[in-house]
Structure 1
Amino acid sequence: MAQPPVALTKSAYAYEELRRRILTGEIGHGSVLSQGQLAHEIGVSTTPLREALRRLAAEGLVQLESHRDARVASLTADEARDLYVLRENLDPLAAGLAAESRTPADIEDIQAALKQLTPLHDAADLDAMTAHREFHRAVYRASHNPLLIGILEGLWDKADRYRQIGLQSQKDSEKDRKRVREEHIAIADAVVAGDAVRAREIMQRHVVGSLGRRAIAVLTEG
């Protein structure tokens, strides 16, 4: 039985551990979650576990079916398409607004996040996935549009799972990883330079080649 790190509350630890298991596919989509068993495995009581499940439910990762039952939210081709359509439109919008509204602090955050990026080699590489998200978060937060930022935060909570499906189906080639790296650099450069048109164009191209789009095909075929 695991024990939560001292720095985290039991609820926060349960949330982080469950989220990791869901995002890496250790707990498959659609799986029924036994609260008693999970609490024992993670090393917490059922009260902090339920708090963690409510937080995950708010992010769309878990469905709470009753007081006792919980299930990992299923992944569907329809939801993958819906997420892709939204991201294809909203991510470029945010990048363009970021180029127009970025502050010196935003520029520093974007450049720092860019330096932390590493290639996504497989679906279990959650650190690389998190760094990828932090880069995009730094960009869309620079838009200084609270409504748009909130929408994108929610979309990325869901989209991370579809990226995992994309990676599980087919690992990126060296050419793919080089392209993604170049796109990230170009997005950062355009935002820092204040070039809204270029920032939107590169971000849209980036979304078109994303793992989320690959997941649509995988789930459709499945």
Structure 2
Amino acid sequence: VRGALDGLAARLAAGRRTAPVDAVMQAGRAATRSGDVAAMITADLAFHQAVYAASGNPLVERSAAPHWCQIRRAMGAVLQDGPARAAIWDEHAAIAEAIGAGDADTAERLAREHAERAGHHLGAALAVPITRLQAQGDTA
């Protein structure tokens, strides 16, 4: 669902050529450099909210909001991985660039791929503790 919503938001934003503001991108990169996970989560959410707002479609914004309550709670696990942290903002930059260029197809594709990768990273990050518990004989 998130991939579809993010893809649609990016497509619509590209149609309006309204890219997320530079301040959002700068905040995300600064948080990543500092290693401040709470700031990274806040900046990531701000980026996605900026894309939803740039879509010009309030229904997209309202539909995405409930998903972010869960995503925010789980992002701390994903953001423990340094390479994943940097990749997130590289992906955001590519999405913002496509939106700013008015390239709706690329913006949508990149946003969908970003959401899919985020889901895979999240699954991997959350599986590690379960695997450790299973290795210790805890099957609960």
TM-score tier by shorter-chain length is 0.7 to 0.9
- Paired position in structure 2 for 1:99: 14
Match of 1:133 among 26, 31, 45: 45
- Are the aligned partners of 2:37 and 2:76 in contact in 1 as well (CA < 8 Å)? no
- Paired position in structure 2 for 1:114: 25
Q: CA deviation at 1:202?
A: 1.1
Equivalent-residue separation in structure 1 for 2:33 and 2:116 (angstroms) = 17
The 5 Å alignment of 1:31-46 reads none
Q: CA deviation at 1:221?
A: 7.3
Q: CA deviation at 1:142?
A: 0.6
Taking a change above 3 Å as real, the CA distance of residues 160 and 141 of structure 1, as seen in their structure-2 partners, is: same
Task: State the identity as a percent.
Answer: 33
Gaps of 5+ in 2: 131-140
SS in 2 for 1:119: helix
Match of 2:106 among 195, 198, 220: 198
Equivalent-residue separation in structure 1 for 2:48 and 2:129 (angstroms) = 29
Q: How big is the alpha-carbon RMSD for the aligned residues of Structure 1 and Structure 2?
A: 2.4
Equivalent-residue separation in structure 1 for 2:71 and 2:95 (angstroms) = 20
**Greater RCO (Cα-Cα under 8 Å, separation 6 or more):** 2
- Paired position in structure 2 for 1:151: 63
The structure with more radius of gyration: 1
Q: Going by fraction, where is helix more abundant, 1 or 2?
A: 2
- Paired position in structure 1 for 2:117: 209
Taking a change above 3 Å as real, the CA distance of residues 161 and 185 of structure 1, as seen in their structure-2 partners, is: same
TM-score by length of 1: 0.50
4+ residue segments displaced more than 6 Å:
none
